[in-house]
Structure 1
């Protein structure tokens, strides 16, 4: 999902992280994220929902996760654009073209929308690199390894909880993986794994009707008491209390 603001202020909660919202911000989100917003003023803007399949039907060799803002473990979920600038006018014009195309539903409108979406993502990527100080857009080997690591976490967090499990897949030592993670993300490899497990636990507690024990089993904790201790240690409350306070 893409969400771009034209006017109004407020705040957004994305996976339990709060972000102030101002005109000219473009947020990127992916399926399964916890999202809520609070408007201090009436917010006007654009929201675009799309699926991987929709995009990959045309751009199958350009996976969405290659865009830096969709690397959700390490990336910031937004960019800021000055709407009064020429660049801002280009973004607004593109959004309006997409809106018009979706409303008219003329022949081949989905193909046109797909092309507009690709342009929007590419322009957003260019702006992302500029705003977050990426001088060399070509990833070095260390950055590629970290991207592979975070993608592996997304696939195996419910089975593999140890740094050594991922280091073995990546054919590097756990110490080297820790060193890379600390240098590039500012977090130890084990913290990235733990953060993903905690995020999924919170999502399940809010959205699912499973018992705490069932959620723990699904996340790879055979001992329910260990899962409860793990959750309490890193959230400051029991799973049951978190569920009551956030539903």
Structure 2
């Protein structure tokens, strides 16, 4: 691992992809790509991967995944990740920013995040592979008069195929219960507000329901109360900063909205079973 920076490394799209879209097909022999990928980082764009051959090992937010072909992988902009190992893989990838995403797809991606790698059957692998090939061909045809619009449309079609696979693994929208819908709305609100908003009552107010009813919905669907999810989201961000930056625990506490550094330290210890410094030292041994 390289030396820690003051904040989590964020990789933007390269300057040559000034339209906010990059798509291509790569073997693991692309050493430049693999060397960059082995260090933990996050993107400022959405990352879609179709693994066509081989086996890869990813670490995404401290969770390790062994991925065998054929599989799809979606990594959201806020997720910290790296490639641990790759064995004879070939993959297609799409990087795309928010501005080029269909608004409905952006909302659905926020709902399914964090998403685990997903294996594909032969039928869906063929369809997604062919759509990737179309996107790659359009991406390379820069002389087309409708270059950006056709590229954007084809990439959004590809993203819809990714989403369809993830949504098939969960309940369909028209089959969701009232508890499901409220829990999804809470999780989306939590992702967007966890730094400034820590009280269950504030989330209940945002959703125009009572605290007991919000707790009932969330606990019925997830098995845990609202306060648990708030704490877990904060602690995940704290772990990211402890591992990937050299900020002090006090600085991290302040960044996550805790003026009372001692309270944050107790919360981290209670939630993880170790102090923040122990977590940092343990994971950098």
Aligned counterpart, 1:120: 158
2:116 alignment partner, one of 61, 73, 77:
77
Contact 1:10 1:39 in 2 (8 A): yes
Count matched residues.
237
Aligned counterpart, 1:38: 84
CA shift, 1:175, in A, is 1.9
**For residues 166 and 51 of structure 2, what CA distance do their matches in structure 1 show?**
16
CA shift, 1:139, in A, is 4.0
The two structures, once aligned, show a CA RMSD in angstroms of: 2.2
CA shift, 1:180, in A, is 0.9
CA shift, 1:141, in A, is 3.3
- Give me the TM-score of the superposition, normalised by structure 1: 0.85
CA shift, 1:63, in A, is 4.8
Give the strand-richer structure, 1 or 2: 2
CA shift, 1:196, in A, is 0.7
The change in CA–CA distance for 1:137 and 1:113 in structure 2 (over 3 A counts) is farther
Contact 2:265 2:276 in 1 (8 A): yes
**For residues 176 and 143 of structure 2, what CA distance do their matches in structure 1 show?**
40
Aligned counterpart, 1:243: 280
Contact 2:75 2:115 in 1 (8 A): no
Quick check: 1:65 aligned with 2:122? Answer: no
List alignment gaps of at least 5 residues for structure 1.
none
Counterpart secondary structure, 2:187: helix
**For residues 137 and 22 of structure 1, what CA distance do their matches in structure 2 show?**
32
List alignment gaps of at least 5 residues for structure 2.
1-46
Quick check: 1:185 aligned with 2:222? Answer: yes
The change in CA–CA distance for 1:71 and 1:136 in structure 2 (over 3 A counts) is closer
The change in CA–CA distance for 1:124 and 1:15 in structure 2 (over 3 A counts) is same
Contact 1:79 1:131 in 2 (8 A): no
CA shift, 1:138, in A, is 5.5
CA shift, 1:136, in A, is 5.2
Aligned counterpart, 1:53: 99
Q: How does 1:97-136 map to 2 (within 5 A)?
A: 97-107=134-144, 108-132=146-170, 134-135=171-172
Counterpart secondary structure, 1:71: helix
Contact 1:129 1:137 in 2 (8 A): no
The change in CA–CA distance for 1:2 and 1:40 in structure 2 (over 3 A counts) is closer
The change in CA–CA distance for 1:169 and 1:130 in structure 2 (over 3 A counts) is closer
